[in-house]
Amino acid sequence: MIEEMRKTRSFAEVNGPWGDRGSYHFEALWSDSVIPHWVTQPSYPGFHHLTKGLAQIGPEHPGRREFCGRHGGAEGEFGDECAGSDNWYFRGRPFGYGSTARTLTRKSRTWPLAFSLEGEFDGFGGREMTYDLGVSWSRSENNLNKPGIFTERMFLAFRGYGGPDCGVGVVPDRELAQGMRLGPTEGRTPGADGCLYYNPFSNALEFSDQPPGSPFHDLPNPDYRPELANDPELVRWLNGGVSDRRSETELLVGDFALSGSWIEDRLGYALGYQFRRFVAEGDPNELGAFTAHPCPVLGDLDCGLEDRIGPYITTSMNYPYREDQTVHRVFGELAIQLSEPIDVQLAADYERYDQASSVDPKLALRWRLSDYLTLTGSVQTTFRTPSVDDLTPDVPLTTYQYARPAGTWVPIDRYGDPDLDPERAFTFNLGLIAFPTPSIELTVDYWNYDFKDVIGDVPHNLVVRFYNDPATRDQVSRYLHCRQGRADPPGVSCAPREIVRVELPLLNWPGVETAGMDWQLSGWYEWGPAAWSPG
């Protein structure tokens, strides 16, 4: 459930006076985390290859011959199938529940530094002012790795040319559904001369792979044949791929704020400036980079977009990237006591990003009607810019998703858009705080959020469902790829089950409105030497 993790942390802090009325603060942290044995599945199904004939089992396959010899005779359940010479095809996980789970090492390292000065001085009219100056820098590094089975190795192993010592390769072939064919095989015999078969039949398993507690857990398999078991070298060879991405981020933040009281106990103020600089980089390893291995055959660079799924049967790949963002922020705030029971807060925030800017005001009110009842309320606008990933049109995030209307798993590409507008929101709330008795507190808060230009993509299942309906097909065909290309040009279309890829750009949705009410009731009572607080 939870892998072993080793954490090492080192922290240092220095504080001291700064002049006559100030102080300084410095802190540094170094944190290192390691998961030495991150555990994942023995294997994953080859989702996008299920219908392409990758895992072909010919009549000469030794596992199939043994299976048919035992279960395909005249009285056998599989007599008709075993009597024929058609190829069979395997669909599922090459190594399932009973196989050894794969492990990898994952690391994460962070080191933030922060320095600040704060103090007081005499400002305008001799009024005391407070300053706060801070600079912080942080950097983090981590890796995200995923094991995988190479498509071409599965292709070879099912045909008897698997293993590290066979020497038979594959050649890209766009005319075949699997996108490849056997290379030269002179001097090599399937299942001999260092070449190995992958055997998906149960006659390769000595014991049942049922989970503990099941009727057949760990019972000997009567169909087992030692000579048909999958060679450990073949298993290691099939599981030899690892996609690994090393990511680095840096954040530099500088703050300066002034605050004080213009009219004692009546009018307070604060104003400030903030600078933020964010940089993110991702560097995949050679076997995990789309730029090096975009196609099912290792090293092939010429396959079309429909086949750009990488060299693994499931494991996703990554593009190298580097993105940065700079933000300038100016804010101001007034705290006003209109009268003894009424407090008002007025604030405004201006932020400027590389691609957008916004001024957002806020008004808040607190009205103490009595010692037992207080009313509160606020109204404000806010905004959120697209992230650096949301703005990148050339580096998609590719994942494999089940497209329900198509009945299969397909690669889903999500692209950013540099023309995205920021999300904006208008929000307000009304609340009350009541004390029915001095020891009981009741709070009620009604809130309302109205979001505009919400950033998101189109659900891929919705796109495929619209494509399946002739009335809406033309509206979504530009997002889909068939075997022969993008589905929107005239004359290029396919059945939903023949869709091979979905491309989804991020966009601004019209909006989301949501509202609700929160309440809380709590009390405080002394009870002998103790106290209790139900809520």
Residue 58 has pLDDT above 90, yes or no: yes
Three-state DSSP state, 504: strand
In this predicted model, what pLDDT tens digit does every residue of 202-219 receive, in sequence order? 999 888 777 778 887 778
> What are the start-end ranges of the E strands in 149-295?
170-172, 180-182, 241-263, 267-284
What type of residue is 212?
P
Checking if the pLDDT of 125 tops 80, the result is no
Phi and psi at 524, nearest 5°, equal -145, 125
Residue 232's pLDDT is 93
Query: Above 70 in pLDDT, residue 48?
Result: no
Cβ neighbours of 195 (radius 10 Å): 22
Predicted confidence (pLDDT) at residue 131 exceeds the cutoff of 70: yes
CA-to-CA distance for 417 and 420, rounded, in angstroms? 6
d(CA 390, CA 415): 7
- Give tens-digit pLDDT for 404-427: 777 777 888 899 998 899 999 999
Q: Quickly state the pLDDT bin for 180 (edges 50, 70, 90).
A: very high
Q: What SS3 string covers 56-87?
A: EECCCCHHHHHHHHHHCCCCCCCHHHHHCCCC
pLDDT of 74 > 70? The answer is: no
Parallel, antiparallel, or unpaired for β 501-505 and 408-415?
parallel
Pairing, β 22-40 against β 180-182:
unpaired
Q: How far, in Å, CA of 103 to CA of 83, rounded?
A: 42
Read off the pLDDT of each residue in 333-352 and give the average, rounded to a whole number. Answer: 95
Q: pLDDT tens for residues 364-373?
A: 999 999 999 9
Q: Quick: pLDDT tens for 370-388.
A: 999 999 999 999 999 888 8
Per-residue pLDDT averaged across 501-509, rounded? 91
Residue 57 CB coordination number (10 Å): 20
Selection from 69, 71, 43 nearest residue 157 by Cα: 43
At residue 265 the predicted structure's pLDDT band, cuts being 50, 70 and 90, is confident
pLDDT of amino acid 47: 64
Please say if the pLDDT value at position 224 is more than 70: yes
Distance CA 424, CA 519 (A): 27
DSSP letter assigned to residue 124: G
Instruction: Please name every residue paired with 337 in a beta bridge, in sequence order, or none if there are none.
Output: 343
Return left, alpha or beta for 204; rule: phi > 0 is left, psi -120 to 50 is alpha, else beta. alpha
pTM of the full predicted structure?
0.80
CA atoms within 13 A on the CB side of 83: 8
Q: Which residue has the higher pLDDT, 100 or 297?
A: 297
* Alpha carbon distance 144, 397 (integer Å): 14
| DSSP state string for 37-51 | EEEE-S----GGGTT
Count how many Cα atoms sit within 13 Å of the Cα of residue 70 in the half-sphere of its side chain: 12
Tokens 């802190």 belong to residue: 27
pLDDT at position 457 is 86
Q: Calculate what percentage of the chain has a pLDDT beyond 90.
A: 60
Q: What are phi and psi of 186, to 5 degrees?
A: -55, 135
User: Which tens digit of pLDDT belongs to each residue from 449-466?
Assistant: 999 999 998 888 899 899
Q: Give the burial string for 225-258 (b: 16+ CB within 10 Å, else e).
A: beebebeeebbebbbebbbbbbbebebebebebb
Give residue-wise pLDDT tens across range 231-254. 999 999 998 889 999 999 999 999
What is the mean predicted confidence (pLDDT) over 61-66?
96
**Residue 4 predicted with pLDDT over 80:** yes
